[in-house]
Each structure stands twice: as structure tokens, then as C-alpha cells.
Amino acid sequence: MGARVARAGDVVGAVRGDGTEESAEAVETVALARGFDHQDPAVAGEIHDILGRFRRHCPVAFSEAYGGMHVVTRYADIRQVAQRGETFSSAVDLGAVVVVPEIAGVRAPLFELDLAEHTGWRRHLQRFFTPAAAARHEPYIRRVSREAVARIAPRGRADLVAEYAAVVPLLVVGELLGVPEPQRPRLAELARGLTTASGAEEAARVGRDYAEFLLGQIRDRRGRAGGDLLTSVVNTEINGRAATEPELLKFVFLMIAAGNLTTTDQLASALLVLAEEEGLRRRVAAAPELIGDLVEECVRHESAVAATGRAVVADTELGGVPLAAGDRVLITWGSGNRDEEHFPDGGEFRLGRSRPRKPHVGWGAGAHRCLGMHLARVELRVLLEELLAAIPEFRLEPGAAPERTYGVIRGVRSLPVTWPVPG
């Protein structure tokens, strides 16, 4: 099956272009696509060039990675996949590493459900993520942001990823879930430990501790009243039944990852732009009302959610390439946001960019569009406001060359900056 579909994709790519030189590039691009692995750190620095080539020559490219997948790179095709849950299922494995045996093979409520099942969970959770609900978290977000800034401001230098961007979002998701405030630092320690583990053995050890912590939170809420998100899903029948403990555990794992990693990496990308572009940074620091627009352009320009998978559940066609049930596709959201047919200058970061009738896909699209985007917008705005108010003149440390990441998430590994300290 994979070889047949791959050949169809090759033909679609190779016949594009009207000259020998371009056709040669098309053939080379098809070969490049075969070895493409979105989780290979080597692609991070050149990812926009690579996906740009795919868009031009094989927009539904075939890769042999993870047993075979089709890499979807154009805006229209990405939206089509995202909006057709009856054909493209969100329950798919594309190279994920499971370090917690309790959730192996479990479909996560909300995240890995489709159609009516997904709608039931989303409807139940919606009240926790409305604009009004997001606004209620602002005082806490502002307090912990100020505390984080106060710890680094007197020093005149910091890694803004490790010491700022990665600090606040975990505390905020802890508040959302109803984790008691004294326990939120432990939640943050475990979540960071899992993402920074040096190897499989360490990841498994941290994963066990993390799972025990979260299971304790789940079990503590059984039969209790409370207005937080976790207490609500533990004690409510959704879609006619109560979620099992493994389902709840995987749900919480993914909810924390979604609320933490995406916000951390989106903020890191925004801070890198501001560190590199002095004029832009000073303009925004002098006019904080521009920060909301800055956030939206950052989400478009460097989408934190970089690539997610779907499983084909019914024979179909996408971009001229036939797909069969059982095939898998990789949605490259950031590529859609740079599609020349929709964003002619998509590679350029431009504050004040006019918004097209069809929005960018940095927040996703379709039924699985980011449920927490209103909360993320509040977090990103407040984090930027507090940092720029206290440290408006930060810039990259001399000689620093920040390393971009790519995989499921797009971010910045570290961001060493300096700023003048009075006195």
C-alpha cells in the first residue's frame, strides 16, 4: 500500500514545473521527502526551506519514516484534513515514546477522539476555556510572571527559556486543573523533568513519579465537589459514561503538555524575535497595546504546534494523491501559515499584518482547533507585558546562536540574553 501511494505522490511532484532544471529539483525533492523525519533535530534549522520545497513540488509528500506517512504542507489541504474527522482520525501514532505503561494503548479523551465522542468532551470542557474564563486567570498569571521577572531582573542576564518561558505556563495549568498552589512547584518539576530527561532510563523513572503524582490528584477528587477542570471530569459522566483511570491519566498528561509546551515554545519564539529586532522590541515596549497583535503574528509566523498526525479511516484523495484506509498523514501547521498561495509573504514577520478571511492555522483548524487559545493569548500577553515593563532592553548575549527545535512542537532550546542593570 505504502509503495503504491508513494509512486502516485512522486508523479504528482515530478510533473510540476515547466523546465528541465525545475523538474530535476522536483525529483530531488521527492527523494528528500522519502527520508524526512519531523522529529530529527537536524531538520529544525532548515525546516521552512524543506517544507517550502515540498509545497512547490510534492505538497502531499511521502516519507518512509515511522512506517510511512504523507506530509501535508499546503494551507487548503491542511484545512481539509483538519475539518474531515470522518475521514482523518486524530487517534494515530507517529513516533511517540510511551514512558508510562498505564497509558499505553489508551485513547485520550478529547485529544484522540473524533466526531460525536470528541464533541461531547469539548462541550463539557468549553466553559473552562471561554474568553471570560481565561480572563479570570489573569491575576494569577500576572503575579507569578512578576515573581519570575523579579528573580532575574537584578542579574542583567538570563536564559529566557529556562528561567522565564518554561516557568510560568506549568503553574498556570496547575491552577486550571485545581492543583493546590503549594503542590504546583512539584508538578512543574516533574513535567520539566520528563521533557529534559537525558535518556530512556531517566525518562521512565521521572514518568513513574509523574504518573503517581497525577494519579494522586485524580483519586483525591473522587466524589468531591469543586469548580476546577480536573474535579469536573473525574466526577462527571461524559458521552454517557465515566472515564476510566487510565483515560483520565492520559487526558491529564496531554492537557498539561498542551497547556505548557505550546505556551512555553510560543513565548520563546516571540522573545527571540524581540531579542533580535531592537526596533520592534522598543516599539512594542513603548506601546504595550501592540502586544496582542504581536502574539497573533508570532503564532502565525512560528506556530508552536508544528506537526501532528492523523490516521486515514476511509479511502480518499488529497492534493491529487490517493490515500487508503490505514495510511497516516502528518499535518505541518507552520507550513500552511507560509503557503505562498494564502500568505504571499508568509516568511516575513510583520506586525500589523491584515488578517485574511480564512485565518491562519497556528491555533489549528476544524473540530480540534486549540481549545485553550483564549487562555494562551492571555498568558502570552501578560508574560510579554511584565517582561518588557521590567526589562525593555534585553538583547542576545554576544556570540549566542539560539537553536530552533522542531518536531511536534516548534520552539527555541535556550535564549541567553543580557540587559543593562542600573547602578
Going residue by residue through the chain, which has 423 residues, state the pLDDT in tens, using 9 for 90 and above.
Answer: 333 333 334 434 344 444 445 578 889 999 999 999 999 999 999 999 999 999 999 999 999 999 999 999 999 999 999 999 999 999 998 766 566 777 778 999 999 999 999 999 999 999 999 999 999 999 999 999 999 999 999 999 999 999 999 999 999 999 999 999 999 999 999 999 988 888 888 988 999 999 999 999 999 999 998 899 999 999 999 999 999 999 999 999 999 999 999 999 999 999 999 999 999 999 999 999 999 999 999 999 999 999 999 999 999 999 999 999 999 999 999 999 999 999 989 999 999 888 777 899 999 999 999 999 999 999 999 999 999 999 999 999 999 999 999 999 999 999 999 999 987
Q: What is the pLDDT of residue 99?
A: 64
Q: What is the pLDDT of residue 11?
A: 39
Quote the pTM value: 0.92
CATH number, span 2-418: 1.10.630.10
Return d(Cα 417, Cα 420) in angstroms, integer.
11
Radius of gyration of the chain (CA): 22
Return d(Cα 405, Cα 39) in angstroms, integer.
9
